[in-house]
């Protein structure tokens, strides 16, 4: 399916996505510097290491360059890409630890406590049928200072949406608002950085980019965004306001969500597939 480009909708498309993700994990585990032969596939790695194996990029550098590029374009056009996260937010996410050697299908929407248990088992999640917005969840553990404390308070995640068609008429929402924990009902509000990955396998094009929100912010959203950037919003107050006003959810999403959009299915986008292709070429 990968080599011929025949990626069908539904189950088969998600199967191809799982193959890609496991291939990336396999490469990442084998190349991880802090390992022994005995436990190389069962040791956690950082999100940055996994994303490098999956997409061949430095996550922090790529995201910040994309953010800067979009902000320059928006300044020229009088718009706003809405990215409110800082480099330290991206670095915090990049240093979060993940561990998955398999996928498990669940029939419910998981809580953060559930996600912690899946992380400890080394398992990524295949979401229930008709789960809102997302198809897979990879649990992750954020650092608390220079330590990793196994507690649901420090749980974050990578949320993945898999598309097989060439076109998505709700593309902007699918890569941002619908690829979020609030829409998926995992959390009422996320006060930590998290990763969203939109994989469109049906396209003939190849590209990797940082997703951006469309539309102009309202005056109240702009005011809230300025306060967030100046760190004037008290955490408890911000949580109440976030739930009370749906419009403010966008602002907080732009602070915490880092959303990557991968179009295509070649080894140009997923370098972890290059070795697989070369082996098959030799066999032929």
d(Cα 89, Cα 192) in Å, to the nearest integer? Answer: 8
Given pLDDT bands bounded at 50, 70 and 90, which one contains residue 232? low
Q: What percent of the chain has pLDDT over 70?
A: 80
The tens digit of pLDDT for each residue in 210-231 reads: 998 877 777 777 787 777 776 6
CB count, 10 Å around CB of 78?
Answer: 7
Average pLDDT estimate for 236-264: 72
Do 103 and 123 contact (CB within 8 A), yes or no?
yes
- Between 87-94 and 47-55, two packed helices, what is the crossing angle to 10 degrees? 90
Which of 200, 162, 155 has its CA nearest to residue 181?
A: 155
From 173, 180, 174, 178, select the one nearest 157 (Cα to Cα).
180
Read off the tokens for 216.
């102009």
Residue 100 CB partners (closer than 8 Å, separation 6+)? 25, 122, 123, 124, 138, 139
The answer to whether residue 270 scores a pLDDT higher than 60 is yes
Tell me the whole-structure pTM to 2 decimals: 0.86
pLDDT tens digits, 83-141: 889 999 999 999 999 999 999 999 999 999 999 999 999 999 999 988 999 999 999 99
State the residue for tokens 């993945």: 160
Whether residue 279 is predicted with pLDDT greater than 60 in this model: the reply is no
CA end-to-end span of the chain: 16
Average pLDDT, rounded, for the chain: 83
């Amino acid at each position: 399916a990968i080599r011929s480009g025949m990626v069908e909708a539904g189950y088969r498309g998600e199967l191809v996505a799982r193959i890609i993700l496991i291939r990336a994990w396999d490469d990442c585990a084998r190349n991880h510097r802090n390992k022994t032969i005995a436990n190389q596939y069962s040791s956690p790695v950082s999100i940055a290491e996994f994303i490098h194996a999956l997409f061949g990029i430095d996550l922090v550098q790529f995201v910040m360059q994309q953010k800067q590029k979009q902000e320059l374009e928006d300044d020229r056009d009088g718009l706003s890409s809405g990215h409110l996260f800082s480099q330290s937010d991206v670095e915090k996410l990049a240093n979060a630890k993940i561990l998955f050697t398999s996928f498990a299908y669940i029939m419910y929407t998981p809580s953060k406590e559930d996600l912690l248990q899946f992380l400890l088992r080394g398992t990524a999640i295949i979401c229930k049928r008709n789960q809102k917005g997302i198809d897979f969840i990879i649990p992750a553990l954020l650092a608390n200072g220079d330590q990793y404390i196994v507690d649901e308070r420090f749980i974050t995640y990578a949320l993945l949406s898999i598309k097989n068609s060439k076109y998505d008429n709700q593309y902007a929402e699918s890569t941002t608002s619908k690829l979020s924990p609030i829409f998926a009902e995992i959390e009422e509000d996320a006060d930590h950085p998290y990763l969203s990955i939109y994989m469109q396998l049906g396209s003939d094009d190849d590209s990797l980019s940082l997703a951006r929100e469309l539309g102009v912010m309202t005056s109240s959203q702009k005011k809230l965004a300025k306060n967030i950037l100046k760190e004037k919003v008290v955490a408890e107050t911000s949580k109440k306001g976030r739930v009370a006003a749906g419009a403010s959810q966008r602002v907080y999403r732009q602070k915490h969500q880092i959303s990557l959009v991968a179009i295509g299915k070649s080894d140009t986008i997923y370098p972890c597939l290059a070795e697989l292709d070369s082996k098959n070429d030799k066999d032929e």
